[in-house]
Chains A and B, each alone.
Chain A
Amino acid sequence: MTANKTIITDFLVDQMQMPVDIAFWVEIVVVAAVYLGVFALLGLFLVWMERRAAAFFQQRLGPNRRGPAGLFQTIADALKLVSKEITGTEKRDKFLYTIAPYFVIVTALMALAVLPFSQELQAFDINLGVFFITSVSSVAVIGIFLAGWASNNKFSLLGGMRSGIQMISYELSIGMVIVAMTVLTGTLQLSEIISFQQEHGWSIWSGHIPAIIGFMIFMIAGTAESNRTPFDLVEAESELGSGYHSEYSGMNFAYYFLAEFVNMFIISAMVVILFFGGWLSPFGITDGIPYVGVFWFVFKTLGVVMLMMWFRWTFPRFRIDQLLTLEWKYLIPISMVNIVFMALVVWLGLTF
């Protein structure tokens, strides 16, 4: 293992007189701890944002008591969940029941590692970045299946199967859209996708019609993938009785809840990277200033998150047959045609 030259390793080796190999591992631990902390807080912030936005969509006020504008409300909720007893059914499979939430939350946090927050700030610039995100986040389905199975409750099992069907189906059209965008950018590496957009303009502009079709499919499939309304048949509190996590309580339940919101952030970040130029500023107004990209990246991502919240509080929930009809009869054929269309556009040089 050889250490890359980074700020943290430089600091550890030069200032702290640490051997290079140890500095490498210390850096990994530090970065992991920082990411974990930041995204635990991000999940809480997104829950707060969801509740406030939902309230405004429904002409309510939402949480506004704990802290400024109710910001500490979700921290209080998390503390309550930590202090709750972890219960479960009598004949559950204890091992699988315990590890199932970690499949979901760990995969959600792993996908965050490759996100480019700015030119300088990216933990892990793998050359298969987009592929890494899709493959890692599809492991979360296993956590959901396991939760349904290990609860030893027939309704949990049905809920797990239902959400498995949904997540596996919609991953297909997400993958197709990613293929189409890869045809345009010519790379899977996230930093290179963004540098392509720096040269040619944001993908939604340079890829015009097929990119806009791809964006719409990605938003629909991404909403379904992160199990949000109108595709939240996974939990559907009022109709289906919470599905796979109906037997979970306390922090185990909170992991699923947080993972849903972190997944929403990842999907939005993917939209921003693939279509809206990642950390690039509009018209290059802040180009060359280091770390300002973080602001633009988070700003754009929260904008897309806002769009998903807008969907959630506007549209009614699908039936399971409507959900599968939408995916298999509409999204997949359209996204397949879209790949060919995008290839033609790139081949004929019709991009900007």
Chain B
Amino acid sequence: MKKLSLLFVDADQERSDTASEPAYFHDLNLDQVISHIVDGREEYKLNNYFYDLNKNLEQIQYRQEIMKDLENEKLYKIISAFTKSLADFRNTLDRLENLYYPLQQQRCYLELALRYQKNLEDFLEKLKSEQVISVGLKELINQFILILKSGKFIEFKNKTANLFERLKKIRYCVFVSETKVSVRRCKEDDYSVEVAKNLYLSDVPLGENNIVGNQTFDLNHVEAQILEGVAKLYPEPFAQLDAYCKEYMRQLEADGVAYPSASLRASRYPFMDHNILIWERELQFYLAYLEYIAPLKHLGLAFSIPDMDISNKQVRAEQTFDLALATRLLEETGQKVVVNDLSLANDEQILVITGPNQGGKTTFARTFGQLHHLAGLGCPVPGLNTRLGFCDAIYTHFSYREDIRAGHGKLEEDLIRIHENLKAATASSIFIMNELFDSTTYDDALYLSEQIIRKLLAKKIITVWVTFIDALTLISPQIVSLMSMVDTADLTRRTFKICRKPADGLAYALSLAEKYGLTYSMLMGEIDE
């Protein structure tokens, strides 16, 4: 059986090193997105899987296929339910380890084994009934079939079922008088049926709540002694149970063995299949992402698996949006984020965005970066009809106004970083520049920007550039001018729409001034001599 990985075409490609967050994560708010995605799945330790861009297209497509399969909601639910049940087994195992009465512990192990077997079988049955196209999931089914057909598994199953039946048949009588309790063998008898009948309650449903109160695992004192009595009355099945647990439930590992994730620790039980646990963890990558975007989809936001192309540098996404912002808006206000179209066609290479403050410019720039990162992971991305070039690296240069390092030092640092990044970048890299050089004079900023833009153009690097300098849009025909828009009826209201439009920052400022009575003529008229 060839080793199967559901994340990597070649299972050995997985690196076990602890990768760290890419430098651009914070700028693009991807740190928020990823921590949200992996939230609640700590036992799988998924973060690393979301850090690295895939180095080749084959790898991306391998994952895209699986994502596409999982867009089938039924399949998604099947796999999700399966991994939840495995997690549940792990929790149960942890609790069982601490049980005080061995007779009870053994029985609980038996029940767990029974559920485990049934779960694997159900899962395979359901999986087979769905149409699966991806190479990864197809191979998963094959390998599952082999596991369940193996002699080892079948023997385990038979032993479990046999024991279960024997224990189920036991019935005994408990007699309580004052503080004395006696246990003996007996047959079934039920007086309460007669009681109910006498009270004309035969047809009335009496509820199933026969087990009331004590729902925990722990047996109390009396229950435990009754159990011991039963074990003495029926010795053989209990001896068999003991042998069974020694074979399947004794933990193998010594403490201190390092597992890549907490979920994999369960493989120390002989009956647990190690490979299944590994696949489960890998599947979490897909489930976590899809679960994260599900509420946004439900809200009516579009996602699509991008069409990736190495040769062509076309970029296109309709109704796309910033994932981090969309999630925050949904959680805080239940509102849907404003979507935008984005495209670069033919020779277009640099998007320069101007327009009023708080109009969605930075959001748009982030969106652009997020799209490329998520696509590089093999995930569906925000937007419809998405088409992206293969991207080998993302470089971001954000200027934060609240940055306390002022003046010269900072400018120099920025330039050094840009210089380094430009050297490392290839034609497949992308740059995202956000309000750079805001602490220099206008002329300086214009000059610096123009120089860098020329370098970017020369290296054919796709770039998004957010700025207040309108003139940047005129440097080259390969530059597309975008503007953040305002409501034409109420100029103080932002629409958060970013549209292709020649930069005309002044018009907006004038009308805004008019609204507040601050234009020249108005001030002239208003101010008394």
Partners in one complex: no
Interface residues of A (CB under 8 A from B): none
Interface residues of B (CB under 8 A from A): none
